[in-house]
Amino acid sequence: MHNRYYSEHISNEEYGLILSFLYSIKNSRTQDIRLNLLYHLNQFFGYVGSTFWVVNEDYSLSDPVGMNIDRDLLDNYVDSYHSYDAVNPQNIGSSAFKDTVVECGSLVKDDPKNPYLARLNDYAIYHSHALHLKVGGKVAASIALFRPQGERSDSRDALSAHCLELVAPFITHEFETMMSLNETSKMASILQAALNMENTGVILFDKKQNNRVLYHNPACMNYCRDFFSETAPSNKIVQHFVNSVIVPYDSPFPEVSDLTVKLKSLCGIDYRIRIVENHEDQPSLYTAYINPLHADHAIIEDECFHSLYSILSPKEREVTLLVAQGLTNQQIADRMFIAISTVKSHLQRIFEKSNVKNRASLIAMLSSRY
């Protein structure tokens, strides 16, 4: 690691701060990882407020949470102030991301005509540091850290910058964990809310987590039982099916993202099992579709599922879920912290992929799957 804040020498004060910071986070109990990180950054490094943003592909910011930051300030920032912020990722360009920690004083110049700085002055705070978290070589999140206006200290800022650089890998790991859990939860919610099909068994499982089943619909339960002679508990039969039937057939073909096999169950029924990698940005998540092929269970290809899940981007999946919950475009924009025009663009792509003409048709199709 090489940057202006990092050195192999760590002072006793820094060492104590970092150990206390890491120990306290690991022993805290909270469901919101980002708020927990902000709370500890404030407590241990002397900040009075902080915000945590997701950085999109175009370097725009979305989905903010704040600690000791007025909600109106966050909303104002989303609406307009972001364009006046010198350390906003969209304003500084990709070249500035060579440093994980940015000392904002080097970029932010006092300007009484700058509405963002004027707004910070109203709250008697200044933007001390920005922390850019990189995942896969790209900036995926940005943390803004604020101090009181009357307590500027170059030595303290340097100490905090050095400590931030040293704890940044840990914070990045926590953020990656949160994003993985969030995406899995969103996908399961979409499946449960909109794609609970009657004739096709569906199983979502994660290869990174020892093929743990994240979701299955009711139809797959009876299909899975057909493959075993012993009576397994209902809460374990699907996991048993994944481990002993799906994985052995899928493992020999690691480069195949869409594999179809035909298997005969112990009951003599032929089944077609399709194993599909969900999306290139989630390579460990797979969906298995199970269809009986005999006359009593005529196979029904559910193109709704394939359109509304397997080929949607993560953002499109989230929009689909919110549409299924009855939210308006404005409510979806507010929930996702994106522009309403972006919601409309997502919906247009969803309509095209699901082969419907409008929102009403999409909702009707989703409702027919309840």
- Homologous superfamily of 12-178: Transcription factor LuxR-like, autoinducer-binding domain (3.30.450.80)
Structure confidence by residue, pLDDT tens digits, 274-325:
888 865 556 778 888 888 885 444 444 444 444 455 567 767 877 887 787 7
Structure confidence by residue, pLDDT tens digits, 25-72:
878 767 788 898 999 999 888 899 999 998 888 888 888 889 999 888
Degrees, nearest 5: CA angle 247-253-258: 85
309-370 topology per CATH: Arc Repressor Mutant, subunit A (1.10.10)
Indicate where the chain has its CATH 1.10.10.10 domain(s). 309-370
Is the pLDDT confidence value at 22 over 80?
yes
Q: What is the pTM of this model?
A: 0.53
Measured CA to CA, the distance from residue 41 to residue 9 in angstroms comes to 22
Structure confidence by residue, pLDDT tens digits, 342-363:
899 989 988 888 788 888 887 7
Mean pLDDT over each residue of the chain, to the nearest integer: 78
Q: What integer pLDDT is reported at residue 307 of this predicted model? A: 43
Top-confidence residue, 228 or 301:
228
- Homologous superfamily of 196-301: PAS domain (3.30.450.20)
Which region holds residue 355: left if phi is over 0, alpha if psi is between -120 and 50, else beta? left
Total H helices, total E strands in the chain: 14, 10
Structure confidence by residue, pLDDT tens digits, 134-148:
887 788 899 999 999
